[in-house]
């Protein structure tokens, strides 16, 4: 009886082991079914109109390429996008194409992306020379473009003019400085109890968003090649001292732990990407200006998103071909109604206004088109999540009322430098 029981146990264990071997490990066979190729692209939008546009372009591509059976747009939550995409790659479930933001440098450094330059230049009618140089730099390495920068949305200053009027304040676009914004914001706060200015999506957590402020002081998080920390520079200390004073002296910027949503009417000013204009619901009068000047003068900042082809995807050649189609001049013009395009031919106030109901042609010319040339991007580096998290932990003390700004920023660099040097 004992031997039979052992035999049976061994059979069960063997069966389980076989099941495990069958279920896990090993690479999947080529996914091309006899019926055709399936492509998958990960995106972080769940906007129905945007997804419908992508689907319509994909349908047109499939009509020209009968070997492509299906193209799906896999909508992942923005907050978990990087970790979900990374997990998919780690698990062997790599999408063929993917949107990318601050993960781009890791993907490029890890040689996870397919170089696109030759394909795009070789595609008839694609017009590679139409791309604005300043917007391709973030996704290029050694002269090769690794992701098409489909969205290049400058940051601007949104103004709730109703709230300003209620506080007896006025503001003009010309020569507006950060100091003026803080003083006016403080006056609004004192008069109405509403916030002066908020930096959208900062929330005392995503400190890279402060990269929309510190260029005004001539500061940068690190040097051009990303090897030396710049958080402890004199310019950066001045920029952070300005923010600290805005919280505790002018009382124009809400402190940590205080929620204020400009688009719900809670603040006089906000810094946000121009693409956020869609959040304006008409409940108050507004204006949109370029970013205010700092002591170092005028500057502009853009937030970018790119789309690239994953080298470990199952249909690299077909995915690259679809990307070239998706981003050709005709389709780029369609995408421009949602995403500020990287093509010179599409970058005029009139053309952008044709599909933008919130901002006028003149506003779009001023806050989008005129800002792209020479714009800097938010700080980006390989290992973005680790730098962001460890930097945040080191930076947290700067938001205390009695903080020694210079000392805290010195410690931030002590924390970041080993990561930058790796």
Partner 1 sequence: MSMTAFWTGRRRDSLAGYLFVAPQVAGVVLFVLLPVALAVYYSFSTWDIFSGEMHLNGGSNYADLVTDPQLPKVLLSTLVFSSGVVVLNLSIGLLLAVMLNRRFAGVTAFRAIFFSPVVVSVVAWTLVWGFLLQDNGGINGLLSVVGIDGPNWLQQGPTAMASVIFAQVVRSVGVNVVLFLAALQGVPRELYEAARIDGANDRKIFFGITLPMISPTLLLTGIITVVGALQAFAQIAVLTQGGPGVSTTVLVYYVFQQAFEFNNIGYGSTLALLLLSFVLVLTILQWQLRRKWVFYEG
In the bound complex, what is the minimum distance in angstroms from residue 59's beta carbon to partner 1? 31
In the bound complex, what is the minimum distance in angstroms from residue 69's beta carbon to partner 1? 27
In the bound complex, what is the minimum distance in angstroms from residue 115's beta carbon to partner 1? 15
Q: Which is nearer to partner 1, 138 or 266 (CB)?
A: 266
Look-up: residue for tokens 């990960």?
A: 42
What is the full DSSP assignment across 70-131? Answer: EEEEEE--GGGHHHHHHHHHHTT---SEEEESTTHHHHHHTT-B---HHHHHHSTT--GGGB
Nearest to 159 by CA among 197, 194, 190, 209: 197
Residues that bind partner 1 (CB under 8 A): 1, 4-5, 8-9, 12, 16, 19-20, 23-24, 83, 86-87, 89-90, 106-107, 109-112, 204-205, 255-259, 312, 383, 385-386, 389-390, 392-394, 396-397, 399-400
Q: Which is nearer to partner 1, 373 or 404 (CB)?
A: 404
Q: Which is nearer to partner 1, 364 or 394 (CB)?
A: 394
In the bound complex, what is the minimum distance in angstroms from residue 157's beta carbon to partner 1? 24
**Which two tokens mark 413?**
């660099």
Kindly tell me the sign of the dihedral angle through the C-alpha atoms of 322, 302, 259, 256: positive
**Which two tokens mark 148?**
């098409």
- Helices of type H across 356-404: 361-364, 370-372, 384-395
In the bound complex, what is the minimum distance in angstroms from residue 109's beta carbon to partner 1? 7
Q: Which is nearer to partner 1, 55 or 83 (CB)?
A: 83
Q: Which is nearer to partner 1, 344 or 383 (CB)?
A: 383
Q: Which is nearer to partner 1, 112 or 372 (CB)?
A: 112
In the bound complex, what is the minimum distance in angstroms from residue 14's beta carbon to partner 1? 12
Residue 327 CB-density burial (10 A; 0-12 exposed, 13-18 middle, 19+ buried): buried
**Which two tokens mark 318?**
């077909």
**Which two tokens mark 94?**
């790599």
Contact between 229 and 413 under an 8 Å Cβ cutoff? The reply is yes
In the bound complex, what is the minimum distance in angstroms from residue 76's beta carbon to partner 1? 14
Residue 253 has a CB neighbour count (10 Å cut-off) of 27
Q: Which is nearer to partner 1, 372 or 416 (CB)?
A: 416
């Amino acid at each position: 009886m004992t031997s039979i029981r052992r035999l049976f146990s061994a059979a069960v264990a063997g069966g389980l082991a076989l099941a495990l071997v069958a279920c896990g490990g090993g690479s999947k066979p080529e996914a091309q079914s006899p019926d055709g190729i399936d492509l998958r692209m990960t995106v972080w939008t769940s906007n129905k109109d945007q997804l419908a546009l992508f689907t319509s372009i994909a349908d047109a591509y499939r009509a020209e390429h009968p070997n492509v059976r299906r193209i799906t747009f896999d909508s992942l939550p923005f907050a978990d996008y990087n970790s979900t995409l990374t997990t998919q790659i780690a698990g062997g479930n790599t999408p063929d194409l993917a949107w990318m933001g601050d993960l781009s440098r890791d993907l490029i450094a890890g040689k996870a992306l397919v170089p696109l330059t030759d394909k795009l230049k070789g595609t008839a009618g694609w017009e590679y020379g139409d791309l604005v140089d300043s917007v391709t730099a973030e996704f290029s390495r050694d002269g090769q473009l690794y992701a098409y920068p489909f969205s290049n949305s400058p940051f601007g200053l949104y103004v709730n003019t109703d709230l300003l009027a209620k506080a007896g304040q006025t503001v003009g676009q010309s020569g507006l400085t950060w100091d003026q914004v803080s003083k006016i914001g403080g006056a609004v706060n004192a008069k109405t109890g509403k916030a002066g200015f908020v930096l959208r999506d900062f929330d005392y957590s995503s400190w890279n968003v402060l990269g929309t402020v510190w260029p005004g002081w001539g500061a940068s998080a690190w040097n051009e090649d990303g090897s030396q920390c710049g958080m402890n520079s004199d310019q950066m200390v001045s920029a952070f001292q300005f923010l600290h004073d805005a919280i505790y002296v002018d009382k124009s910027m809400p402190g940590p732990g205080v929620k204020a949503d400009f688009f719900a009417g809670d603040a006089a000013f906000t810094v946000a990407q121009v693409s956020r204009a869609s959040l304006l619901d008409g409940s108050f009068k507004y204006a949109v200006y370029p970013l205010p000047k700092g002591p170092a003068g005028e500057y502009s900042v853009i937030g970018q998103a790119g789309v690239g082809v994953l080298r470990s995807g199952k249909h690299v050649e077909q995915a690259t071909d679809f990307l070239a189609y998706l981003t050709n001049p005709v389709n780029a013009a369609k995408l421009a109604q949602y995403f500020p395009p990287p093509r010179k031919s599409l970058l005029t106030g009139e053309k952008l206004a044709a599909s933008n109901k919130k901002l006028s042609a003149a506003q779009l010319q001023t806050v989008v088109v005129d800002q792209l040339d020479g714009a800097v991007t938010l700080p980006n580096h390989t290992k973005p999540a680790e730098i962001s998290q460890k930097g945040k932990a080191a930076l947290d003390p700067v938001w205390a009322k009695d903080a020694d700004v210079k000392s805290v920023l010195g410690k931030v660099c002590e924390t970041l430098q080993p990561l930058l040097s790796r």
